[in-house]
A and B are shown apart, each in its own frame.
Chain A
């Protein structure tokens, strides 16, 4: 009798332990460089109307126990994975109420973003590749899932090219019809001085360091986010900043610029007007920004066909929802 009782207790204990240890599991395969990736997860964590868990930020190097993730039952079920050397993965798992589900995500190679760089200001010839390397460093460090593959064209000695390129978005019609433009590709124009388009013009300070033409055109063409101007007064972070706009962090005055927004500081790449040392060294993107750059419907990663989708309409300041995480949502570095 005593032996039977002991045996019964041992079996019950084992079963109990098993049920405590049982957990749904996330497996992430093909992570480049052994990175500790960032997982952004929406799921149902508990029964009832308040059981939806949105924007959980988790970390893993490959296998992650998730506890018991329940069947979605009206909650959003979505996992985004951000890695330094892989493309962002967006996956829509189907969970069951049992704690035995295994969801596997296979990471794809990092997105190589082709960039055509047109040097209309000869003094920029030396710095353009350095700006570009810095941009790649920043985007990889923040696990946006992209790196830049640039082709450089020195056109500063061609007066026709310099005149056509101009110095602001009012030349985009000419630029797009010229040989100094690569369609469906980021085109970066290094010019001596950039001037603000009419709608942003400030008589007292007309020379911004950079300008992306996402919504500034020439009257006929409304804009082209594939066209960016970089001026001679640009700093080390300006190119990375303007590419942020090209990738969908727009409009500047509605959260595209993070200056003084809650949850941001001057280390953010999209922060403007910090003291010059800080401004040069800006290197941070939040997870909310990284998510948007990968999914924004009119961002160039989607629009240029570098990412298959899904397309989202999550302007920076849109209210957080199932499909749009807060802009300032972030992960703890490193």
Chain B
């Protein structure tokens, strides 16, 4: 359990580092400001109920945070986050398969690869959709261009739909 928590922390740190790199690109921010912005961005991309006004914490940075948002829209979560989630999901899958051997009410019909893809894909989409929403809230030409690209080229239908919805909000 401890090693699991440590690896989760590592994934969080890697995610923040990736966002930090994206956020600091083309800005005159100090390392500290960039760190705060990256943290705010990570919270917004990952929050579930988002009760702490996470979106406002991102949009306060205005155009300066666009590189980070565009990176999240185009690339989804960091590879470290993906890897960590994939590993954790694979372990859980094995537990569920073990359970299914003795519990007919809990059958597992998906393969391990599909299981990981299914839940990993949801996280990937969530990052991109949240990025699209924040881009719409900030606005501007760069945001619009990124959203237009995602609206026509994003791999997942739900991400394309979110990009289109964000474009509609931009147009208002």
Give Cα A147–Cα B122 distance, bound, in whole angstroms.
25
Tier of interface size on chain B: 35 or more
CB distance from A9 to the nearest CB of B (A): 53
Chain A positions within 8 Å of B139 at CB level: none
Give Cα A219–Cα B15 distance, bound, in whole angstroms.
43
Chain B positions within 8 Å of A17 at CB level: none
Q: Is the beta-carbon distance between A280 and B85 smaller than 8 angstroms? A: yes
Instruction: Choose among B11, B50, B129 the residue that contacts A277 (Cβ–Cβ < 8 A).
Output: B11
Q: Is the beta-carbon distance between B56 and A129 smaller than 8 angstroms? A: no
Give Cα A136–Cα B105 distance, bound, in whole angstroms.
9
Give Cα A297–Cα B55 distance, bound, in whole angstroms.
38
Number of residues on chain A facing chain B (CB within 8 A): 39
User: DSSP majority for the B interface?
Assistant: helix
Chain B positions within 8 Å of A233 at CB level: 122, 125-126, 129
Q: Is the beta-carbon distance between A204 and B55 smaller than 8 angstroms? A: yes
Q: Is the beta-carbon distance between A281 and B77 smaller than 8 angstroms? A: no
> 23 interchain pairs (CB within 8 A)?
A132-B106, A136-B105, A140-B99, A202-B50, A202-B51, A204-B50, A204-B55, A204-B56, A205-B50, A235-B48, A272-B51, A273-B52, A275-B11, A275-B46, A276-B45, A276-B46, A276-B123, A277-B12, A277-B88, A278-B8, A280-B85, A281-B8, A333-B1
Interface residues of B (CB under 8 A from A): 1, 4-5, 8, 11-12, 15, 42, 45-56, 77, 81, 84-85, 88-89, 92, 95-96, 99-100, 103, 105-110, 114-115, 118-119, 122-123, 125-127, 129, 133, 137, 158
Q: Which 9 A-B pairs have the closest CB atoms?
A: A133-B106, A205-B50, A276-B46, A204-B55, A136-B106, A277-B85, A149-B105, A273-B47, A272-B49
